[in-house]
Amino acid sequence: MGNIADNEGRSRGETLERLNTGKPGRMGKMTIGSKEHYEILELFEKQFSEYRLDKEAHGLWIKGIIYQCGETNALYTAFIAGYSAGRCAYLNQ
């Protein structure tokens, strides 16, 4: 599977990191492997249990490749982007 980039040339992992990085002292970035990250994975897997949920090796997670199935990984990318947007909106009230 090739490295999928967004329209500005960023890889999926870089895009996730950009989405999850906030202003210092306000939001901070979500760390892969943190309690928050595993809670989000658990929520995603409950809501999308009908999809293939086989995970990649942890070494690929930092690149934004969590699931072996590309369709599931794309859904997760959209899910985490929505979570990040909601978190930003909440913290910036």
| pTM for this prediction | 0.65
Q: Look at residues 79, 74, 19, 31 and name the one whose alpha carbon lies nearest to residue 52.
A: 74
Condensed to tens digits (0 to 9), the pLDDT of residues 15-61 reads: 455 444 443 333 456 778 788 889 999 999 999 999 999 999 988 98
The string of DSSP codes covering 8-45 is: TS-BHHHHHHHHT---TTTT-PPPTTSHHHHHHHHHHH
Condensed to tens digits (0 to 9), the pLDDT of residues 50-66 reads: 999 999 998 898 888 99
Does residue 74 contact residue 21 with C-beta atoms inside 8 Å? no
